[in-house]
Structure 1
Amino acid sequence: MSVFERYLTLWVALAMIAGMAIGVLSPAMIDAIATAEVANVNLVVAVLIWAMVYPMMVGVDPGALRNVVRQPKGIAITLAVNWLIKPFTMAALAVLFFEGVFADLIDPADAQQYIAGLILLGAAPCTAMVFVWSQLTRGDEGYTLVQVSVNDVVMIFAFAPIVAFLLGVTDIAVPWTTLVLSVLLFVALPLAAGVWTRQRLGTPERIETFRNRIKPWSVIGLIATVVILFGLQGQVILDRPQVIALIAVPILIQSYGIFALAYAAAWALKVPHRIAAPCALIGTSNFFELAVAVAISLFGLNSGAALATVVGVLVEVPVMLSLVAFANRTRARFA
């Protein structure tokens, strides 16, 4: 892992502090960024989101989809967990905690926003960081690429309908035009640009060199987005710091629960560990770049939904590293 990836939680925490400081000391700057919108899409954040997503999409190899039949059980598990289970369990946990357990601690309007953000987070399985987790568990790199590629293709068609359905179930208004536009802008177009880039570069060596060159922009885009989000949310967090901890609770339960389900299914179906570990980690981790982008598009930069997706970024790395350690300790239990 690079220094940025290894200490991502630290950078995000520092960006949160910096954002709150800027929001308090220079609110005009944050407000100027927040008002730079066209068709409900913030132009500044759109550029930052592309900086985050595009380097990841360059790593998606359409040719790898031909290898799906090589180990169908791994693909079946990741697809079932990511698209038939995970979005719905995240929505259920969000409703349970913010309309039940935490109802007396959170304003109802804020609670609906946090639920929406958690739904967006749960409906977007990991794409890029899973290659890091796969490497740390000695996963099959080729098959990990297959799993990520398949999930990215499914995401283009499944993300918007699932999110719209779940937001509707929780009585949150769904601006369909903005939702579809977000998927096109932040999934379909970056994926098309990534495929075009791979074709232009040609050889795997040139592709890898190019990815390494642009990879830092992904982290820079993420950190800059977090600064802006927390610049807008700074006063809310200073007034109610416990809200970060409350949002983290369902995310932690979801992460460990989904990993346990996928990992146990892989063990029961006798999937080799080099495929089982990445298979479980894909569902556990989130495509938080997409979740952040869509939350901003649907609900605005200063929304509770956007804040909830950023909390997902904050807890991502420590949770995933703990699961990587568990997967490595239990390798001998697999065939």
Structure 2
Amino acid sequence: MTVTTSEITASTDLQTVKPTIGNFERNLTWWVLGCIVVGITLGKVFPSFFQAVGGLKIAEVNLPVAILIWLMIIPMLLKIDFSAMKEVLNHSKGIGVTLFINWIVKPFSMALLAWLFIRHLFAGLLPVEQIDSYIAGLILLAAAPCTAMVFVWSGLCGGEPKFTLSQVAINDAIMLFAFAPLVALLLGLSSITVPWNTLFISVLLFIVVPVVISQVLRKLLLSRGQSAFDNVL
């Protein structure tokens, strides 16, 4: 049986190229564990220095942490094109599911789990004065839709790029306005009081500022050409 060149080419074209990740991403778990160990060690060795760093706050929001978070998320935020929100109507069902999960199911279910496990089941294992902080931390995490890793997961599973971009853009836009009220509601239901100025400063430092910086950088890079933008990413 003779196999022609055209048949080989056609067969090759039908093969699916599996997305891959680099060594850094593949070993991310170990990087995180290593950073935790290093952080704890440095805190034990230089306690006064890190206490001073921890004291750099505005409305109880730590500024060094905010800057480190900017460095972590701005590279991913560069990928967000808010003009992609016009694609929402083309993916209305998928976007609807995403919004329902992100803004109804996830935050309220996490608040319920925090109340169940932290307030009751594991309360005896935790310092009493820290229980509210643990619950508040879980609520804060649950109320913020994941942005950066969405691009990673979408790439790994060969997702639709326009859908990914549009759903990230609309979730980030909603987060600018809905995060603080939602967190205030859930904390109130959990009988935890957090000053509104702390919530607003958190939104400003952790959401608004990095989004603005990333969009300014995005426009500057795109003004130099698509290749310059792609090289940075």
TM superposition score category, shorter chain reference: 0.7 to 0.9
Q: Counterpart of 1:17?
A: 37
The CA deviation at 1:205 is 2.9
Scaled by the length of structure 1, the TM-score of the pair is 0.60
| Mapped partners of 2:167, 2:28: distance in 1 | 24
Instruction: Determine whether 1:79 maps to 2:99.
Output: yes
Q: Is the 1:60–1:149 Cα contact (8 Å) retained in structure 2?
A: yes
Q: Counterpart of 1:70?
A: 90
| Mapped partners of 2:195, 2:24: distance in 1 | 35
Q: Is the 2:59–2:201 Cα contact (8 Å) retained in structure 1?
A: no
Q: Counterpart of 1:165?
A: 185
| Mapped partners of 2:97, 2:109: distance in 1 | 16
Q: Secondary structure at 2:176's aligned position in 1?
A: helix
Q: Which amino acid aligns with 1:28?
A: S
| Mapped partners of 1:16, 1:95: distance in 2 | 26
The CA deviation at 1:130 is 1.2
1:210-254: per-residue Cα shift (whole Å, max 9, x none)? 2x3xxxxxxxxxxxxxxxxxxxxxxxxxxxxxxxxxxxxxxxxxx
Q: Counterpart of 2:8?
A: none
Q: Is the 2:132–2:192 Cα contact (8 Å) retained in structure 1?
A: yes
In structure 2, relative to structure 1, the CA distance for the partners of 1:166 and 1:28 (3 Å cut) is same
Q: Counterpart of 2:62?
A: 42
| Mapped partners of 1:89, 1:29: distance in 2 | 38
Q: Is the 2:88–2:95 Cα contact (8 Å) retained in structure 1?
A: yes
Q: Counterpart of 1:179?
A: 199
Instruction: Determine whether 1:143 maps to 2:158.
Output: no
The range that moved more, 124-133 or 199-208, is 199-208
Q: Counterpart of 1:131?
A: 151
Residue of structure 1 aligned with 2:50, choices 21, 25, 30: 30
Q: Counterpart of 1:52?
A: 72
Instruction: Determine whether 1:105 maps to 2:122.
Output: no
Q: Is the 2:117–2:123 Cα contact (8 Å) retained in structure 1?
A: yes
Report % sequence identity: 46
Q: Counterpart of 1:227?
A: none
Q: Which amino acid aligns with 1:113?
A: S
| Mapped partners of 1:31, 1:99: distance in 2 | 28
| Mapped partners of 1:185, 1:28: distance in 2 | 25
Q: Which amino acid aligns with 1:6?
A: R
Residue of structure 1 aligned with 2:229, choices 207, 210, 214: 207
| Mapped partners of 1:108, 1:40: distance in 2 | 20
Which sections of structure 1, spanning at least 5 residues, go unmatched? Answer: 213-335
Instruction: Determine whether 1:118 maps to 2:126.
Output: no
In structure 2, relative to structure 1, the CA distance for the partners of 1:117 and 1:41 (3 Å cut) is closer
| Mapped partners of 1:192, 1:24: distance in 2 | 36
Q: Is the 1:37–1:43 Cα contact (8 Å) retained in structure 2?
A: yes
Q: Is the 1:123–1:162 Cα contact (8 Å) retained in structure 2?
A: yes
| Mapped partners of 1:86, 1:22: distance in 2 | 35
The range that moved more, 35-44 or 130-139, is 35-44
Q: Counterpart of 2:116?
A: 96
In structure 2, relative to structure 1, the CA distance for the partners of 1:70 and 1:37 (3 Å cut) is same
Q: Which has the higher contact order (CA 8 A, sep 6+)?
A: 1
The CA deviation at 1:120 is 0.8
| Mapped partners of 2:63, 2:144: distance in 1 | 22
Say which one has the larger Rg. Answer: 2
The range that moved more, 198-207 or 13-22, is 198-207
Q: Counterpart of 1:2?
A: 22
Q: Secondary structure at 2:124's aligned position in 1?
A: coil
1:165-214: per-residue Cα shift (whole Å, max 9, x none)? 1111111111111111111122112212222222222244322222x3xx
Q: Secondary structure at 1:71's aligned position in 2?
A: helix
Q: Secondary structure at 1:104's aligned position in 2?
A: helix
| Mapped partners of 2:96, 2:145: distance in 1 | 15
The CA deviation at 1:103 is 2.4
Q: Which amino acid aligns with 2:227?
A: E
Q: Is the 1:53–1:186 Cα contact (8 Å) retained in structure 2?
A: no
| Mapped partners of 1:128, 1:49: distance in 2 | 12
Q: Is the 2:59–2:197 Cα contact (8 Å) retained in structure 1?
A: no
